[in-house]
Amino acid sequence: MQTFVMATRLAPGALSSPKNLEELERRAVAAVETTCPDVKWTASYAVSGPYDYLDVFEAPDVATATRVSTLIRTFGHAHTEVWCASAWDDFKAMVRDLPDAT
């Protein structure tokens, strides 16, 4: 499984009330579980800055991660970005074998 990070920004006016957030979340989670049952959600964070939420999940491939992103976009009229992520120790092991710059 590959790790992906998804940054989400809801469109202005996507929620009529902050109380609607939990219902939006339930519907989005149900859609992902039904459509992409092999996805494992790892973490979710509310963040300050240009995005509203940051989610970390595992998926078997980029196509599945793209499906998750597309599903989330339909809930709350959201903008999403998905990035592939590598654990820091795995990344360091990979770059050890790269040739030196000349």
Does the pTM exceed 0.75? Answer: yes
User: What CATH number should be reported for the domain holding residue 68?
Assistant: 3.30.70.920
Residues 34, 26 contacting (CB under 8 angstroms)? no
pLDDT in tens, 63-79: 999 999 999 998 878 89
pLDDT in tens, 20-62: 888 888 999 999 999 999 999 999 999 999 999 999 999 999 9
> What's the first-to-final CA gap in the chain, in angstroms?
35
For residue 102, being part of any structural domain is answered with: no
What phi and psi, each to the nearest 5 degrees, are found at residue 51? -115, 160
Place of tokens 């940054």: 7
Number of domains into which the chain is organized: 1
For residue 45, being part of any structural domain is answered with: yes
Q: Where would I find the H helices in the chain?
A: 20-35, 62-74, 88-96
Residues of the domain holding 46: 2-96
Q: Please compute Rg for the chain using Cα positions.
A: 16
For residue 19, being part of any structural domain is answered with: yes
